[in-house]
């Protein structure tokens, strides 16, 4: 039986403000964060009948406690979706939400779904990365994986070794620009449309309302970062200032078949072109976005020169700089992370992929001259993930639809 693949579109995406571990969400449940995102998606898209949602896929890296129990299903029920709407949990460490998007998108393209919700959550303050894990000892004893691969900070130092031109000064300068761009994006009101206010509770302080990201450090200077310790290696290059922090937060996106989106009057913010996940040596995990992007470009019949906007997750400055150096892109290229990135906003592991997509969608809306954009990230245990998107506001794209 011959099947025709369908076009998959990004309809909408939201996220909670990101918090510092032990910060504004210290006494808030992880599942309540993602439930808030699901409810907000439905509120923002009133033309979508709840029963038309065919699947809810929610990622978490540490699937225990309030991030366990098949969180996609339980969050869907608690968000008020009909009991007929199924759900599941997914894990690909940092690329959890990205994988939730690509996996459900594949189901849409195949015809199994018309509309899905995909996202991720991570409460790193409550569930530190690696909590209760029990790695098979053979993975190290048999030298399948270098022991340093189990520490993300060590993998970043290893990436510095592989790219000796990426100095600590260069990484610090990149980190400062990330802080500056995020501060400017907030000042211009470009981040706030993605954010869902979250009621917070503290036994000491009472009730509060989280409306902005907690991690940014506006005013950070290169001199400030130069004075920070290098915890992963004596006289190393990776610090808390040129890395993403330990954070809490959730995201959710609404995806659909393009014909269904048009039928229901839903917005079309991006169109999926291709995606790829690839593996690299686990001890240089941060190199993962390079082959993933090369493969996704090849699948799409594109080159890096066709890409007009990049959202690269900033797990570490060196990881972004390695990607840029490989593709011959300047450290301060305005196409890259115009809103800033995870070094400023935070990186609640499995949730971050949809943040990248939200920001790329905003860039597409602001810049109809851009046709293609990329969301890409490195992934623990030596992987990379890349999704290529098309701008529906681009004149050539609109002509094709017409």
- Which residues participate in catalysis according to the annotation? 94, 347, 378
Token pair for 280: 């690299």
Pairwise CA distance, residues 299 & 99, whole Å: 17
Alpha-carbon 94 to chain mean position: 7
Determine the 3-state secondary structure of 148 from DSSP: helix
Asked if 353 contacts 90 with a C-beta cutoff of 8 angstroms, the reply is: no
- The pair phi, psi for residue 41, each rounded to 5°, is -60, -45
Whether 352 and 317 have beta carbons less than 8 Å apart is answered as no
Q: With contact defined as beta carbons under 8 Å apart, do 238 and 318 qualify?
A: yes
**Phi and psi at residue 83, to the nearest 5°:** -65, -15
Nearest residue to 12 (alpha-carbon basis) of 266, 254, 184, 334: 254
- Provide φ and ψ at 37, rounded to 5°: -65, -45
> What DSSP state is assigned to residue 238?
-
**Phi, psi for 144 (deg, rounded to 5):** -70, -35
Q: Tell me how far apart the alpha carbons of residues 47 and 268 are, in angstroms, rounded to a whole number.
A: 14
- SS3 helix, strand, coil % of the chain, rounded to 5? 40, 20, 40
Residue with tokens 């033309």: 47
Rounded to whole angstroms, the Cα distance separating 206 from 243 reads 32
Helix (H) or strand (E) holding 136: none
């Amino acid at each position: 039986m011959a099947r025709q693949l369908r076009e998959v579109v990004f309809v909408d995406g939201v996220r909670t403000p990101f918090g510092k571990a032990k910060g504004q969400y210290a006494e808030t449940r992880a599942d309540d964060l993602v439930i808030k995102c699901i409810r907000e998606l439905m509120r923002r898209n009133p033309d979508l009948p709840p029963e038309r949602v065919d699947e809810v896929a929610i990622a978490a890296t540490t699937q225990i406690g309030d991030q366990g129990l098949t969180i996609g299903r339980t969050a869907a029920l608690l968000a008020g979706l009909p009991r007929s709407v199924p759900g599941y949990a997914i894990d690909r460490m940092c690329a959890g939400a990205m994988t939730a998007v690509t996996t459900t998108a594949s189901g849409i393209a195949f015809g199994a779904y018309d509309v899905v919700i995909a996202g991720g959550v991570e409460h790193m303050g409550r569930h530190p990365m690696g909590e209760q894990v029990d790695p098979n000892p053979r993975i190290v004893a048999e030298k399948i994986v270098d022991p340093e691969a189990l520490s993300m900070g060590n993998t970043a130092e290893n990436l510095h070794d592989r790219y000796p031109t990426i100095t600590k000064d260069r990484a610090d300068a990149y980190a400062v620009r990330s802080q500056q761009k995020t501060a400017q994006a907030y000042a211009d009101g470009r981040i706030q449309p993605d954010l869902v206010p979250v009621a917070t509770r503290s036994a000491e302080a009472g009730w509060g309302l989280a409306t902005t990201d907690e991690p940014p450090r506006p005013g950070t200077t290169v001199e400030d970062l130069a004075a920070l310790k290098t915890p992963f290696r004596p006289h190393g290059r990776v610090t808390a200032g040129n890395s993403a922090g330990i954070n809490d937060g959730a995201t959710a996106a609404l995806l659909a078949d393009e014909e269904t989106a048009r039928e229901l009057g839903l917005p079309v913010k991006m169109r999926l072109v291709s995606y790829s996940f690839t593996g690299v040596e686990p001890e240089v995990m941060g190199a993962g976005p390079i082959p993933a992007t090369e493969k996704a470009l090849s699948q799409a019949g594109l080159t890096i020169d066709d890409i007009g906007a990049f959202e690269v997750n900033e797990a570490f400055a060196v990881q972004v700089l390695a990607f840029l150096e490989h593709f011959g892109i300047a450290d301060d290229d305005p196409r890259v992370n115009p809103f800033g990135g995870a070094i400023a906003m935070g990186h609640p592991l499995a949730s971050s992929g949809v943040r990248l997509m939200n920001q790329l969608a905003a860039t597409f809306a602001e810049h109809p001259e851009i046709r293609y954009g990329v969301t890409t990230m490195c992934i623990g245990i030596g992987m990379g993930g890349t999704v290529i998107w098309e701008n529906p506001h681009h004149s050539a794209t609109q002509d094709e639809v017409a």
